[in-house]
Chains A and B, each alone.
Chain A
Amino acid sequence: MKPTADLTTQLRALRNEVTLSWHDGLSLLRFDANRGIETLEPLIATDLGIRESQFRQALRLDDQGRPLADLLIGFFRGTLHVFGTGLEHAAMAEALSAQDAVQAHDDHVVISIDGPFAWELLGAWDTPSAIGLPYLGAYSPREGVLAVRAGRTGEYGYMLVVPRAQAEGIWNELLAASPMPVTVVGKETLERASLENWVFEIDREGRSGLDALELQLTWRLDLHKDAVGLDAIRAHRDAGLRRRITALRSGKPLASGARVLCEGQEIGQVLAAAETAVLSVLDTPWAEAGMTYTVDGEPVHSQSAPFVVNRSLFVNPQRHSWAGRDEVELPEGLQWQNTTSS
Chain B
Amino acid sequence: MTALERVQRRRQAVEDVQTLFVEHLMLDVEPQDLDPDAPLFGSGHALDSIDAVELVVALENRFGVRLQESRVLSIPHLRTVNTVVDLVIAETQEAA
Contacts and interface: CB of A to CB of B under 8 A. Distances in A.
Q: Does a CB–CB distance below 8 Å link A and B in the complex?
A: yes
Interface of A: 57, 135-136, 198, 216-219, 223, 237, 245-247, 262-263, 285-286, 288-291, 304-306, 309, 313-314, 331
B74 A331 contact: yes
A216 B86 contact: no
Query: Dominant SS at the B interface?
Result: helix
Contacts of B11: 285, 288
Given A135-B42, A218-B35, A285-B11, A309 B76 contact: yes
A304 to B, nearest CB: 4
Interface residues of B, number: 31
B36 A219 contact: no
A290 B89 CA distance: 10
Interface in B3-19: 3-4, 6-8, 10-11, 14
Interface of B: 3-4, 6-8, 10-11, 14, 29, 32-39, 42-45, 74-76, 79-80, 82-83, 85-86, 89
Interface centre among B11, B37, B75 (most CB of A within 10 A): B37
Contact of B35 (A135, A217, A285, A314): A217
B35 A219 contact: yes
Given A216-B36, A263-B3, A289 B82 contact: yes
B42 A289 contact: no
Contact of B33 (A223, A247, A263, A314): A223
30 contacts: A57-B43, A135-B42, A135-B43, A198-B37, A216-B38, A217-B35, A218-B33, A218-B35, A218-B38, A219-B34, A219-B38, A219-B44, A237-B32, A285-B7, A288-B36, A289-B10, A289-B82, A289-B85, A290-B6, A290-B10, A290-B85, A291-B6, A291-B7, A291-B10, A304-B79, A304-B82, A306-B79, A313-B75, A331-B74, A331-B76
A290 B6 CA distance: 9
Contacts of B44: 219
Contacts of A263: 3
Given A263-B3, A291-B10, A314 B75 contact: yes
A219 B45 contact: yes
Contacts of B45: 219
B23 to A, nearest CB: 18
Contacts of A304: 36-37, 79-80, 82-83, 85-86
Contacts of A291: 3, 6-7, 10
B34 to A, nearest CB: 8
A306 to B, nearest CB: 7
Nearest to A245: B37
Nearest to A312: B75
Given A290-B10, A291-B7, A314-B75, 8 more contacts: A135-B42, A136-B42, A219-B38, A245-B37, A246-B37, A288-B11, A290-B85, A304-B85
